[in-house]
Structure 1
Amino acid sequence: MTFQWIVLLMTYYPEMQQKLRQEIESQIGDRMPTHEDRNRCHYVMAFITETLRFRNVAPFGVPHKAVVRSTIGNYTIPENMGVFIYQGIICRNDKDWENAFEFKPERFIDSEGQFITTRPKALIPFGVGRRVCPGEKLAIADLFLVLVRFFQSTQDYEIVLDSNGGIDADPNNANEFAPIEYKVKFMKI
């Protein structure tokens, strides 16, 4: 599902698609990508991270249980009450993110053009605490490898949204769980 969001976002923002292609070409070229390439592909990593922040595919995470009676603000949570952390809203709230509802990979790039590896507290697409997803590192590594190979295998094409049938695939208006159904076309460059 995350890769579906990635494809939709890169087609919706063709200037970002071009920037991704240029970085992959200059840093990796045609050779098989490695995990070490993530340290050189700053924009690719920022794009993946922003996709995970902007469109979290598991916004509710896993259920927790209050082990003691707790109070948060004016709310009392009884002992043994089931609790969900709504990660989706934390990843997109205006308090923690400037222009939270805009897709901006640059928010994860520093002034020297490097990917910011220090994670902001509000970036929790894989959960938080002891129940954080154990597959987080593998998921990010796989997203990187799949995205790079996808671009390498389509280097002679621009990937565009197919407007056939009047599909409005605007990722900014989609529900947060899955992208609206969309089609892409491969246009020979």
Structure 2
Amino acid sequence: MVLLMTYYPEVQKKLRQEIETQIGDRMPTHEDRNRCHYVMAFITETLRFRNIVPMGVPHKAVVQSTIGICCRNDEDWQKGSEFRPERFLDSEGQFMTTRPKAYIPFGVGRRVCLGEKLAIADLFLVLVRFLQSTQDYDIVLDSNCGIDADPNIADAFNPYDYKIFHI
């Protein structure tokens, strides 16, 4: 999430503005998720855009099967290769709690992750506290490390080494 905020400074700015207006400097609570629509959309889009565990738990099919990967293709997502938290906001800017069928960062069916709700709650609290504690800084990539700030070139299985600074 921090790396995506460096790629998209306008997203970082929107996150900080929403946190400032909805929460301020106080500790975030579970109930704040209902007021921080853009923060929740950012977390959801991050999980769609870059899998935390791209392989999941290995399983073996009992019959030959073909499974389409639906995190970045345009059949399942409009402009799926673009990072756009707004895709999880409705026309009034409210976070959409119903997810598209192609949203599967925690798996589907009987094998869905039991810790999904806890993970989302923790991601929200950690992200908000991180942005509150760095409110006087912009989080940016180190321009001297020789890495192009393009989120589409990173290989999910072999990510690059990054140096992130606050200025």
Structure 1 residue corresponding to 2:115, chosen from 130, 135, 155 = 135
The residue that corresponds to 1:99 in the other structure is 79
Matches of 1:62 and 1:174, distance apart in 2: 22
Matches of 1:84 and 1:186, distance apart in 2: 45
Q: How far does residue 102 in structure 1 lie from its aligned partner after superposition?
A: 0.3
The CA RMSD measured in Å over matched residues stands at 1.7
Structure 2 residue corresponding to 1:150, chosen from 130, 136, 148 = 130
Identity %: 78
* Higher Rg: 1
Write out the 4+ residue segments of structure 1 that deviate beyond 4 Å after TM superposition.
83-86
Q: How does 1:23-34 map to 2 (within 5 A)?
A: 23-34=18-29
Conserved? CA contact 2:28–2:128, under 8 Å:
yes
Q: Which has the higher strand share?
A: 1
Q: Secondary structure at the match of 1:22?
A: helix
Q: Secondary structure at the match of 1:160?
A: strand
Structure-1-length-normalised TM-score: 0.82
In the TM superposition, what whole-angstrom CA distance separates every residue of 1:47-67 from its partner, at most 9, and x where no partner exists? 010000000122222233445
In the TM superposition, what whole-angstrom CA distance separates every residue of 1:111-140 from its partner, at most 9, and x where no partner exists? 000001001100000111111111111111
**How many correspondences in the alignment?**
167
> Which segment is superposed worse, 16-25 or 162-171?
162-171
Q: How does 1:1-189 map to 2 (within 5 A)?
A: 6-66=1-61, 69=63, 77=64, 89-177=69-157, 179-187=159-167
Change (3 A) 1:47 1:177: farther
Change (3 A) 1:178 1:51: farther
Unaligned runs of 5+ in 2: none
Unaligned runs of 5+ in 1: 1-5, 70-76, 78-82
Structure-2-length-normalised TM-score: 0.93
In the TM superposition, what whole-angstrom CA distance separates every residue of 1:54-106 from its partner, at most 9, and x where no partner exists? 00122222233445x4xxxxxxx2xxxxx7967xx212221110101000000
Conserved? CA contact 1:169–1:179, under 8 Å:
no
